[in-house]
Amino acid sequence: PYRVFTARSEYRLSSRANNADLRLTRRAAALGLVRDSARLARLDTVEADMAHAQAMLEQVVHLPHIWEAQMGGSRRVVRDGVRKSALDMIRKGFLSEDLWAGARDPENVPPEHIPKARKLAGGPEISAIVPAWADVPLDIRQRVVTEAMYHGHLRQLSAEANTFKREESMRLPADIDYSKVRVLSHEEVDKLSIVRPDTFGAAKRIDGITPGGILALLKYVRQNRAAQSA
């Protein structure tokens, strides 16, 4: 049900079920929907534990060639001379965490594929590089690693959202042919062609128009205007 609920949500990578408590509990409390002090205290504990675990990973910093040695030479790291933390290495997929630890093996996965299915990212286990990581509660480890793996995608989505906010009032060409915007679905082409919105903001508010469609439309209009002015 949660997946269906968020299927057409804008930037839904940030609206995941596994971070709903962090995103919504305090808002619900401010509206009087959550009055359980124990629940709020648990949230405080989770946030503090996650911050502590992230700080632990950020404190382990090495140059690329040191990271390669730490991983036994199994993975190549771009030697750009920039120091990287263990958290950075998780975000780039160089260190792994067993997200199924303490749970039964995933269903519908052939036995020979279970080791791969159990791992998040590749490379050695985080605790092999950061021994103190093993002392962090399992649920906190899993949440910190999950957030790290989404970090790059969320940063990109945030940039896209900021771009759209800046361009929301930009006017759309009156004669635009939406069928030429290849990323748009047939449904989006039909609705835009019927409504003929004046601005990107108006287009965004049409039912069935996705954030991805709006960004593709923005790119298409920009490219056409650049070509005309060249």
- How many whole angstroms separate alpha carbon 181 and alpha carbon 159? 22
49-91 pLDDT, tens digit each: 999 999 999 999 999 999 988 887 777 888 888 999 999 999 9
| Distance from C-alpha of 31 to C-alpha of 183, rounded to nearest angstrom | 40
**Of 112 and 14, which is predicted with more confidence?**
14
Residue 137: how many CB atoms within 10 A of its CB? 12
- Rounded to two decimals, what is the model's pTM? 0.67
Position with higher pLDDT, 192 vs 5: 192
The residue whose two tokens read 């609206």 is: 15
Alpha helix (H) residue ranges in 7-58:
20-30, 37-58
Look at residue 77 and give its three-state secondary structure: coil
**Residue 61: enclosing H or E segment and its boundaries?**
strand 61-62
Instruction: Dump pLDDT digits (tens) for 39-50.
Output: 999 999 999 999
**Residue pLDDT, tens place only, 173-187:** 999 999 999 889 999
Number of C-alpha atoms within 13 angstroms, CB side, residue 48? 6
Q: What percent of the chain is predicted at pLDDT more than 90?
A: 42
